[in-house]
Structure 1
């Protein structure tokens, strides 16, 4: 069980089927229980994009069992850092939360070759976030 004092990070994109799933998986993989990690979508898809699953598998991270989740006000309220990725104004804003917007291409409809650079940029940003949070890898 994660340490209750660990910071909580919520990744949000429209469908919770690509960018936010990759970001959450990288943060979980790199930080373990030192960070509580959530992801959600304003309009969740039925499944994580297959080419996203394949691209993450190349990094040794299995997303095949992940299911897109709906964004709730409670998820935002209980997070310390909320990182949006193209969800626009659909993410509720609460005082005292740290909000970041990562402008990244949507991997939907792209093959694994096109997903790789998006995946790699997400990993780079997650590693930077870990440094900002004071959580080493």
Structure 2
């Protein structure tokens, strides 16, 4: 992986399994920013695969995250990111001075049906739109119909 020196802001989404919340957030940010933001996601204890219900909920809005794989959280990913957004990973996220950290309190979609996952997805969508605004990035597209 090459090191980039572009001035794009970067965000890292972290949850325990990197299979639901963080993957949905990364999918929204990638889609809405149109490449204007460098997007990463990781988990402290990555699952074997992405939550299929999270995939289904995102597909309903035209965002395909099926090709994503849960990844382990690394110190390098944190160091390379401007904003680190945690979603229930507790104390396992490394803290570096000068980084911006946010903790998004979100229900875990693991083991839940499509209706609760849609609620979580829609909450994440709103938070990602706020994040884009805070980063000074205008969404290049909208989500859904």
- Shorter-chain TM-score range: over 0.9
CA RMSD after TM alignment:
1.0
Contact 1:3–1:34 under 8 Å retained in 2? no
Cα displacement string for residues 23-58 of structure 1 (whole angstroms, at most 9, x for unaligned residues): 000000000221000000000000000100000000
In structure 2, the gaps of 5 or more residues are 140-145
Number of residues paired by the alignment? Answer: 136
Structure 1 counterpart of 2:104: 102
Q: Report how far residue 3 of structure 1 moved.
A: 7.4
For residue 62 of structure 2, give the secondary structure of its aligned residue in structure 1.
coil
- Greater fraction helix: 1
TM-score by length of 2: 0.92
For 1:6 and 1:63, locate their aligned partners in 2 and report how far apart those are by CA, in whole Å: 22
Cα displacement string for residues 70-114 of structure 1 (whole angstroms, at most 9, x for unaligned residues): 000000011000000000000000011000000000000001111
In structure 1, the gaps of 5 or more residues are none
- Runs (4+) of structure 1 exceeding 6 A deviation are none
Counterpart selection for 1:71 from 58, 69, 73? 73
TM-score by length of 1: 0.97
Structure 2 counterpart of 1:113: 115
For residue 109 of structure 2, give the secondary structure of its aligned residue in structure 1.
coil
